[in-house]
Every structure is written in structure tokens, then in C-alpha cells.
Structure 1
């Protein structure tokens, strides 16, 4: 079942980047292991071919069921790429911070929502980390914008690999200059979903905060440390094993 009648417009990602080059325990995260990106279901045929030629073998789709119902897998669905749909939230509204039914789009509110996501969606995050650990080639993980749900998975992956908080925050903040392109690219999908929640997309865009994005990720990491000691504690309680972490680190360092 689809939610909109018109086919989404295909385009190149606006927020795609590999995590290679980030300092981790034992060295530097190798290139070609993990890619974070905005919606891969919207890529063109040419981009799909380039990603596969570049070593992509696995996709982890973090979107909700409603989002997937609109686009399906897109052109990459016809390529030899394994696909795992691991929704971090049941619906888009659940991932949007709200108080007294009013949406709050501050950097601080987004950081608080990332903490809640880490704690409530810990089993899904553990599943995603295991997929990355056992994937034979490069794994790309994405939501719609490649910022929030994708940013949380990128953060816990980098934590498991032993990256510093500063490097995790710096990677997250690299999305900031891409936001105008992200909003244009996802409008055809997110607009109808936001309308169902009673959120006016144009009003929401006007309410998006200015200033450095790094506040959100610092709140996530700092709050998890204050609350649990180990920021990965919610994931460990949900089944993240030392064996999986060891496998991720060995894979990240291997040439």
C-alpha cells in the first residue's frame, strides 16, 4: 500500500559519507566498511550502480514502515545487495520531540530525543551493529535525512569502535551544511507523512533552529554517560556482546 500517488523523484544523496578515517581504538577506521546516508530508496539508477561498484553489499534501512511503503527499496532493490529493514521508530512522529503536543525543533530537544531513541530502540540498534559486524563488504545505513536515526546508529557504532566523543560529534555535525539539500530531496516523502501528524512542513522548516548542530549529539553522549556511566549500557542490556564489539573493531582495522 502506498501513501502518495506520485512516484518520488530520484536523485543523488545529499548527505552520504563514509566513516573511514575516524580515529578508533587500535588505529583508524578503514574506508569501505560503513557508510551513512540519507534515503537510499531515492537514488538514481546511476548512483545505485556506482555504490555497488564501490563495494556496497548490505543496506540497513532505519525508516518507519510508512516511509518504506511510499518508496519501497528503489533502484537498489534490483541490485545484488542484502537488505535489512530495522525501523528505529514505529512512525516518524515517534522520533520527533514534542511537549504538550507541540513539536519542539531545538537542538536541545533533538538531543533529548536521541537519548530516548538509544534507550527505547536499543534492541534494534544491537541488531544493526551485528549486521555491520558480519557484513562481507561495505554496509550503508540510512533513514530519510541521514541525520537523526542515522546519526544515532553512527554514534553507537563509533562508540563501540572506541572513537572519542569529539570525533563522534564532529561526524554528526558534518550534516549541517547538507540540510537544505536534504529538505529538498525528502520533501515528496516527508510532506505527506508530516501532514498526517498535523505538522505543516513549511512551518516546520521555518522553525528549525540555527546555530551549531553539535549541541544535539553532545547532549546525547553526555546524558547517556551521566545516566548509565557507559553510554553503550542500554545496548549491552539489550544483547550487545563483547564478541560483537571485538568483531566490529577487527573489521574496522583490517586492511
Structure 2
């Protein structure tokens, strides 16, 4: 599959799909299953194998019991060092692996805020798109590490960042691409954050509502910024997955054999 960047917004999930995909937790709003999407050769992704989420620091005993029932014993945390320290977790039944990607959106907006110049929606949009470009230019090794863990063993796992929308959103798009899921379903999964995620803090400084809206949502233009770099710098999604992230033909075959029905 070659992931084009001019695709239009896709319709949201049906109620039935969403009720199976989204797993309500008291301490996380954007926790969901990547199962069910149709992948390579028409084979659907197995349910209850790969999960994506916002951070896990606020989970309660009921949430942890639910994760244990799902068989999740591994988490892969894309949060930066300060983020993971500020909202740390160490749950007895979950082995946390740090795949740290620093949250440059916050730094960019804070730097401009300190100049005294009011932050605008255009500033926020530019910061988000620049950050998504940097994910590919600076942090591809973290996504390669996620694939290594996916290939290591077939046990259920989850990956997350703070809101489960940007670093996690790109990671999910890469995983779904590698498994042969259609562009329509990849966009559908990415945009689902706007239905599910409920932010619980406003950050270290006050932002206007129009800026906050951009910072705490996902837009097509964000993911497109990553995809444009993948196409311009790497020659397309297939080349990026195989050459930059190291998914050899044998690795792709193993990935699909492991996670597709």
C-alpha cells in the first residue's frame, strides 16, 4: 500500500465498531483496540492484541483489572523524560518500556509565549505540523523499536504517549500500514481521537480556546505533515517501513502472520 497524502476525511466508526474498539477506563479516555481493520490479503487484524492509549498514570484498580483480563503485560511509552516523570506509573502487572520522544509542540509554544507575542491558532497549527515532520526526521528509531517489540513475541501490548493522539497516532498509522490496512481505515483510526479523548489539564500556561482546540485535537494536516516527509525523504511508505524502520520481507511476513487472522 502506498499511503497518499491527499486523502479526504473519512466517516467515523459505526456504533457497533466503536463499542468493540473503544474500551472505557476510569483513568484513560483514548484507550482502544487496533483489531478488526482489514489488512493484507483481506485478513483482519486480530482483536485484543495491539492497543493504543493516552497515558496510564491515572488508572485505578478497576482499570488495572481490566488490562490484566485483556492480557496486557507490556506498555511502550513514547512520552518525553519530564512528561513521564510528572505523570509516572509503575504497575505491578505491566512492564513499561520507554521509547521517549520529546514533546516539541509544548516547547515551541512556550518559547513564543515568553516573547510576549500572543499565540494564535496559526502558530499552534504550524507547531503541530512541524512536530509531526520531526517525528519522522528525528525519531524514526523509536518507531523501529516498537516494531522490534511487536515482532519479539505475540503477547498483547499497548503503546501510548500523553494524550494518545500524536506520537501514538503516527505509530498506529505505521503499524496499520505495515499490516496492509487501507488508507480509509488508517485515517478513520487516526481521527477517532477527536471523538474519544478528554483532556484533563491545560498545561503550564494559559492558552486561548482556539489554540487549545488545535493542540488537543488531531487534524488531517498533522499526519499529512509526517507522510509528506516519508514520501519526500524516504521515497514512500513502503521504503520507509522496509529501509528506515528495518522491516525486511521476512519481518513483514512474520508481523502479518502474528497479528492478522
TM class by shorter-chain length? Answer: 0.7 to 0.9
Contact 2:135 2:226 in 1 (8 A): no
How has the CA–CA distance of structure 1 residues 41 and 247 changed in structure 2, closer, same or farther, with 3 Å as cutoff? farther
Corresponding residue number in structure 1 for 2:184: 166
Does 2:127 align with 1:123? no
Does 2:221 align with 1:218? no
How has the CA–CA distance of structure 1 residues 61 and 99 changed in structure 2, closer, same or farther, with 3 Å as cutoff? closer
How has the CA–CA distance of structure 1 residues 232 and 152 changed in structure 2, closer, same or farther, with 3 Å as cutoff? farther
Corresponding residue number in structure 1 for 2:92: 78
Output the TM-score relative to the length of structure 2. Answer: 0.75
How has the CA–CA distance of structure 1 residues 159 and 109 changed in structure 2, closer, same or farther, with 3 Å as cutoff? farther
Greater fraction strand: 1
Contact 1:25 1:162 in 2 (8 A): yes
What is the alpha-carbon distance in structure 2 between the residues aligned to residue 129 and residue 146 of structure 1? Answer: 18
How has the CA–CA distance of structure 1 residues 28 and 162 changed in structure 2, closer, same or farther, with 3 Å as cutoff? same
What is the alpha-carbon distance in structure 2 between the residues aligned to residue 73 and residue 21 of structure 1? Answer: 29
What is the alpha-carbon distance in structure 1 between the residues aligned to residue 58 and residue 39 of structure 2? Answer: 32
Higher alpha-carbon deviation: 225-234 or 122-131: 225-234
Spell out, residue by residue over 1:122-177, the C-alpha distance to the aligned partner (whole angstroms, 9 max, x if none): 11110111112223321111100000111111111112112222221111100012
CA RMSD between the two structures: 2.7
In structure 2, runs of 5+ residues without a counterpart are 1-24, 113-118
Does 2:171 align with 1:153? yes
How has the CA–CA distance of structure 1 residues 205 and 87 changed in structure 2, closer, same or farther, with 3 Å as cutoff? farther
Does 2:253 align with 1:249? no
What is the alpha-carbon distance in structure 1 between the residues aligned to residue 158 and residue 168 of structure 2? Answer: 10
**How far 1:109 sits from its partner (Å)?**
4.5
SS in 1 for 2:165: coil
In structure 1, runs of 5+ residues without a counterpart are 1-9
Corresponding residue number in structure 1 for 2:49: 33
